[in-house]
Structure 1
Amino acid sequence: MEHYSCTYCDTPLTGMRYVLRQDQPTCLTCFEDKFADKCYECNKPIGTDFKDLSYKGRHWHEECFKCWACQGSLANQQFVGKDDGLYCPTCYDTNFALRCDRCNNTFKHGQQKFEYSGKRYHAQCFLCAICQQSIGNNNFVPREEDTLICMPCYNDNFAKRCGKCAEVRIKLVTSVVVTTN
């Protein structure tokens, strides 16, 4: 044990802290210089006394692992990766999340989204212009720009009827695409 030393610099390791790397004793200085991951934010080595947080092959010191927008800590928090950046859920929603074309609020992850004519709507925003009920997956008729009428309201208010029996003669039906974000 009196000749137990670092494989790379020959520093004696007896009574010292060291790292066994591939069964080779390595002093902390050599480990940090040669093998420690570099922090993506500050570019300094992440030594043995620091927590190494990693995502998609990049590494950070715990104090460097921050939201790219608000600079709040992401350590022990949920976060979202976008392009090369990392964001807290609030900043991600503010900057990147899809928005409803009616209320302009964001779609949360897993929330149902209705799409029609290039526009996206929350279920509570995808409403009949007459009865204000959710159209959901039901058939509807578009009237004018951004005005949707559910089939019962269309039939009651706009549909052509048979002069003899008053039954609806023509039903116009349009469908919607429903996705989950």
Structure 2
Amino acid sequence: MSTSERFDCHYCKDSLLGKKYIMKEDTQYCTKCYENLFANCCEGCSSPINCNSKDLSYKDRHWHEQCFQCAKCSRSLVDKAFAAKDDLLLCTECYAHDYSSKCSTCKKTIMPGSRKMEYKGNSWHETCFLCHRCQQPIGTKSFIPKDSGYFCVACFEKQFAYQCCACKKVGKSPWLWHFNITHTAITIGGVTYQDKPWHRECFVCIGCRKQLSGQRFTTRENYPYCLECFSNLYAKKCVGCTKPITSLAGAKYISFEERQWHSECFTCVQCSVSLVGRGFLTQRDNILCTDCGREK
């Protein structure tokens, strides 16, 4: 037989004609060489997994089919659900007995692979985490903890939430929680004024309807006003410029005989010199510096 007609093991060069062989990356090997070079070592018995055995693998680890067993009860895990713990493979029953959480409602084990709700160290089956009021599963919807119970948003609002002083509708709770495997806090802003709740969008100036949340404001007869509306409606007017005088904006003013001036407007009607801190004379409704007054 010529060299070109030979069909040999790539490693030991023995002829493979009429023998069993294995191809790897387009290269042929006799079974003995293949097992010596490439066979995986079984995690269970530490023996090579030869060509005649099924090689079961999980996360780069390998087992003979008969060695793929639960590390605790030795039941076969072939074609069955299993869990890994500290490099050990366990059937779902053994894993659940030793490691799974217990449902806070039914007290039964929460089996691996089933949906589990968790909140502040407690766990529930998805179907056991119920609204304290309507007894319906909350699932992944928002919820609100209250005392020792948990409420869906609708039930909490019916039983506990305050009504907005303006629109009389229920105000949102400041703390909502929802499940998405883990829980997340959602805060919804509101306003408290005089110990009463308001929606942020409802707490507005009674004059111009501008939102007052985060803004300076004042009240008159228990109605809130922005500074501009309050000044226009109720502040005294400056004799000099006729604009409102308000101390809320930090303005300084002069008062004389039930009349008021901005400090910068308190000037001689004739020569316009400032009269702040100086003597002055009056002529009917006008005020004059002493120099201009003597000339009169």
- The alignment's TM-score, normalised by the length of structure 1, stands at 0.67
The correspondence for 1:133, drawn from 113, 118, 135, is 135
Contact 2:92 2:112 in 1 (8 A): no
Contact 1:140 1:151 in 2 (8 A): yes
| 1:14 aligned partner | 17
Q: Which has the larger radius of gyration?
A: 2
Q: Determine helix, strand or coil for the equivalent of 1:90.
A: helix
Contact 2:42 2:64 in 1 (8 A): yes
The correspondence for 2:92, drawn from 83, 89, 93, is 89
Contact 2:110 2:124 in 1 (8 A): no
Q: Determine helix, strand or coil for the equivalent of 1:86.
A: strand
| 1:165 aligned partner | none
| Structure 1: unaligned runs, 5 residues or longer | 160-170
| 2:55 aligned partner | 52
- Write the deviation string for residues 57-98 of structure 1: whole angstroms up to 9, x where unpaired: 111111111122221111222323334222222222223333
The correspondence for 2:115, drawn from 103, 111, 121, is 111
Distance in 2 between residues matched to 1:11 and 1:154, nearest whole Å: 86
Contact 1:70 1:91 in 2 (8 A): yes
Distance 1:133 1:32, change over 3 A: same
The correspondence for 2:30, drawn from 27, 31, 40, is 27
| 1:142 aligned partner | 146
The offset of 1:53, in angstroms, is: 1.0
Alignment of 1:41 with 2:44, yes or no, is yes
- Write the deviation string for residues 100-152 of structure 1: whole angstroms up to 9, x where unpaired: 23333315535252x444322335544566x6824735755633xx4567648
- Write the deviation string for residues 20-48 of structure 1: whole angstroms up to 9, x where unpaired: 33444322111111221111221211111
Contact 1:116 1:176 in 2 (8 A): no
| Structure 2: unaligned runs, 5 residues or longer | 162-171, 183-296
Question: Percent identity of the aligned residues?
Answer: 34
Distance 1:125 1:75, change over 3 A: closer
Give 1:73-84 correspondences, 5 Å limit: 73-84=76-87
Distance 1:36 1:118, change over 3 A: closer
Distance in 2 between residues matched to 1:40 and 1:98, nearest whole Å: 29
Greater per-residue strand proportion? 2
| 1:178 aligned partner | 179
Contact 1:100 1:120 in 2 (8 A): yes
Distance in 2 between residues matched to 1:124 and 1:14, nearest whole Å: 64
The correspondence for 2:103, drawn from 100, 103, 117, is 100
Contact 1:98 1:106 in 2 (8 A): yes
Distance 1:40 1:135, change over 3 A: closer
Amino acid aligned to 2:135: Q
Bigger relative contact order, structure 1 or 2, given CA contacts below 8 A and separation 6+? 1
Distance in 2 between residues matched to 1:139 and 1:35, nearest whole Å: 56
Stretches of 4+ moved more than 6 A in 1?
A: none
Q: Cα RMSD (Å) of the superposition?
A: 3.9
Amino acid aligned to 1:7: H
Aligned residues between the structures:
169
